Amino acid sequence: MLSKIFKVFSRELKTARRDSMAILIIVMPVLFAFGITLFTPGLNDTTVNIALLESDDKSHIEYLEQFAKVEIFENREDVLTRVNKRDDMAAIMQKGDGYEIILQGNEPEIVEGYAKALNALYEIGANKEETTAAMYSFGHTVSPLKTMLVNMLISMTIMLSGMLIAISIVGEKADNTINAINVTPVSQTSFVIGKSMMGGLIAMVSIIISLFITGYYDINWFMIILVGLTSLILSLVVGFVQGLASDDVIEAAANVKMIMIPIAGSIVGYELLADKWQWTMYWSPFYWAYKANKLVLTKTADWPTILLCTGMVLVLSLVVYFLAKPKIREGLS
Amino acid sequence: MISVKNLSHSYSHDDKLAVNNISFEIEKGETFGFLGPSGAGKSTTQGILTGLLKQQEGEVIVAGYNVKKVQNERFNKIGVSFEQSNVYSKLTAKENLDYYAKLFDVPTRDSMELLHLVGLDGKENDRAGEFSKGMKHRLTFARSMLNNPELWFLDEPTTGLDPAIAATIKDIIREQAAKGTTSFLTTHNMYIADELCDRVAFIIDGEIKLIDTPKNLKLQYGRKLIDIEYIENGKVVKETLKTVTEEDRRRIGEIVNNHDIQTMHSKEATLEEIFIQVTGRELV
């Protein structure tokens, strides 16, 4: 049975490689991952940029470098050119006995205030070691927005795996090949598993590549793979059902996209609903998957919670699978 | 090799029967023709025998397996050539055959040998999606031979093929029969059935009207005929008359004596004519 599953899987991969729609689906998550990597630094970078002159007092430069990203320029002209560029930059230069702060004018108030406060602290000789405040940290090293985008990317990739299955099934229907497989020693179960492996493996590889691209190297990979595999079940079931119900690739893709509604609803529910209303989303396996992925991505996950979440995903997905099973069996006969 | 007893099937699960209480047996090594017009119940019967349709009533044993039980390994002994071609359009001809060959648990034939056999050599690296309808049909036919089937289901094996290729396919079927392969040939083409089959069954409206050898049918139902074309009142008139009835023989004499004969041909009744005679229906 295993060898037959592998043969079906190999053929699926070969066919997918020759299908432009399937290629697009495979590449899309990776492109999104690059997009997130390119744009999130701009969205989340709260570092204040300060331009200083080379001739400035060395102690002044060293002090500011502790608290801001400092760029040094040879002359005043270069400083002014730099300030006038698109990003937020405050220039601090000596003027008489004191300093002047030069801004482009469209910076957030916080940039102006930060530059002023930082220079004032230098002038009075304040030292960060002198603070009386005790430090506590939640340990979040990644921006919440980036985590949310990457988590959404994982959900989208899971959905795309269903789309791959649907496209593959539509292809089988167009070629009439389901009948041909049914008169070989390959069981329907082997056929379904082989096909699912194609969608599942591509999705898992895409997720792993996307996580590397977006910089999540040091997460718990066992947890992310466990959550990914359990979340795939539902998407694959939907892929089979929609593929069997659709007559062409466009219809299949459109039908599978409907799954975006519960996915989006689950994400919005998790992110925006108050704690006391979170239970209203417990019906959705995507809610549990999103929650588990978020815990893993923020490195706050523990095994009992992950097992609870994946258990819920598994149970809810299996309920859908058993409801859809007669339809899948009938469609593949 | 095949035993069918009281088989009935209804798609709507009511008394509208696509196949109505049919029974027949096919011996090992026999080429059995299942003949009838479209909608007669041929494909339904073949669907049940190949396991593609769920058996509802009756008893069906195929290659020693009860088709009611799911036993995929039986397909190691069976080959099915479908009327509608069904090959992966994104795979090449060779990849198609190699893929299916790997799915069997028994030794399989070389894909290149089969492609050569059906006249597709030189096309092995072309994707099946680029093939003509006839080429796809030949590829489907070739695939059905991959596992050296003991029992071979052939659904309209020469439909849509040009005469030269059709002749090749018929030769292959004859060769397989000579090797002892049992064939179940479903067709509405009586000429092919006449050429290839040891026995034929006439099916119409889901019921088998008769089963016999083509030779016996011709002896039993065939009447020797003569087609005569002659001139009457300046026009060409054509008549087909039986040589075995007194009335027709007298009429032949009248025509020969009194008219200018244009053409005159003797002929045997065809299987198609016998089918029409037995069932009262044409093979459309």
| Residues A182 and A274 grouped into a single domain | yes
Most B-contacting residue of A2, A13, A175 (CB-CB within 10 A), to test interface: A175
pLDDT of residue A291: 92
Chain A CB contacts of B143 under 8 Å are: 180
Q: What digits encode the pLDDT tens for the residues B254-264?
A: 999 988 899 98
**What does DSSP say about strands B182-187 and B31-35: parallel, antiparallel, or unpaired?**
parallel
Q: Band of the pLDDT at A254, cuts 50, 70, 90?
A: confident
- Strand extents, DSSP E, chain A: 49-53, 69-73, 90-95, 98-102
Range of weakest confidence among A132-136, A166-170, A315-319, B38-42: A132-136
Q: What digits encode the pLDDT tens for the residues B273-284?
A: 777 777 777 666
* % of chain B with per-residue pLDDT over 70: 98
| Residues A230 and A283 grouped into a single domain | yes
Instruction: Give the number of domains in chain A.
Output: 2
What mean pLDDT is predicted for residues A147-156? Answer: 90
* % of chain B with per-residue pLDDT over 90: 20
Task: Give B129 to chain A, closest Cα distance, Å.
Answer: 9
Residue A59: give the domain boundaries: 49-130
First-last CA distance in chain A:
19
| Residues A228 and A287 grouped into a single domain | yes
pLDDT of residue B221: 72
| Residues A101 and A155 grouped into a single domain | no
pLDDT of residue B159: 79
pLDDT of residue B283: 64
Measure CB to CB from residue B72 to each of A19, A177, A185 and give the nearest one. Answer: A185
Q: Is the predicted pLDDT of residue A47 greater than 80, yes or no? A: no
Contacts of residue A14, defined as CB under 8 A and 6 or more positions apart, other chains included, come to B90, B91, B95
Identify the closest residue of chain A to B52 by CA–CA distance.
Answer: A333
Identify the closest residue of chain B to A187 by CA–CA distance.
Answer: B72
pLDDT of residue B217: 79
What mean pLDDT is predicted for residues A59-63? Answer: 90
What mean pLDDT is predicted for residues B184-193? Answer: 85
Q: Band of the pLDDT at A222, cuts 50, 70, 90?
A: very high
| Burial readout A94-131 (b: 16 or more C-beta within 10 A, e: otherwise) | eeeeebebbebeebeeebbebbeebbeebeeeeeeeee
Q: Is the predicted pLDDT of residue A41 greater than 70, yes or no? A: no
* % of chain A with per-residue pLDDT over 90: 20
The last residue of a domain, from among A130, A154, A188: A130
CA–CA dist A167, A169 (Å, integer): 5
| Residues A168 and A249 grouped into a single domain | yes
Q: Higher confidence at residue A252 or residue A63?
A: A63
CA–CA dist B186, B45 (Å, integer): 9
Q: Is the predicted pLDDT of residue A44 greater than 80, yes or no? A: no
Do A252 and A169 touch, CB atoms closer than 8 A? yes
Q: Is the predicted pLDDT of residue A142 greater than 70, yes or no? A: no
Tokens of B178: 């000579």
| Residues A69 and A155 grouped into a single domain | no
DSSP state of B104: -
* pTM, two decimal places: 0.74
Measure CB to CB from residue A176 to each of B70, B72, B84 and give the nearest one. Answer: B84
| Residues A302 and A283 grouped into a single domain | yes
What mean pLDDT is predicted for residues A25-46? Answer: 78
Q: Please answer yes or no on whether B52 and A184 come within 8 Å at the CB atom.
A: no
| Residues A10 and A83 grouped into a single domain | no
Q: Band of the pLDDT at A223, cuts 50, 70, 90?
A: very high
Most B-contacting residue of A183, A186, A189 (CB-CB within 10 A), to test interface: A183
Q: Band of the pLDDT at B121, cuts 50, 70, 90?
A: confident
pLDDT of residue B223: 66
Q: Band of the pLDDT at A52, cuts 50, 70, 90?
A: very high
Q: Is the predicted pLDDT of residue A141 greater than 70, yes or no? A: no
Task: Tell whether A136 is covered by a domain.
Answer: no
Q: Please answer yes or no on whether B103 and A14 come within 8 Å at the CB atom.
A: no
Task: Tell whether A92 is covered by a domain.
Answer: yes
For B250, half-sphere exposure in the C-beta direction (CA atoms, 13 angstrom radius) is: 3
Q: What digits encode the pLDDT tens for the residues B150-173?
A: 999 998 888 778 888 888 888 999
Q: Please answer yes or no on whether A176 and B105 come within 8 Å at the CB atom.
A: no
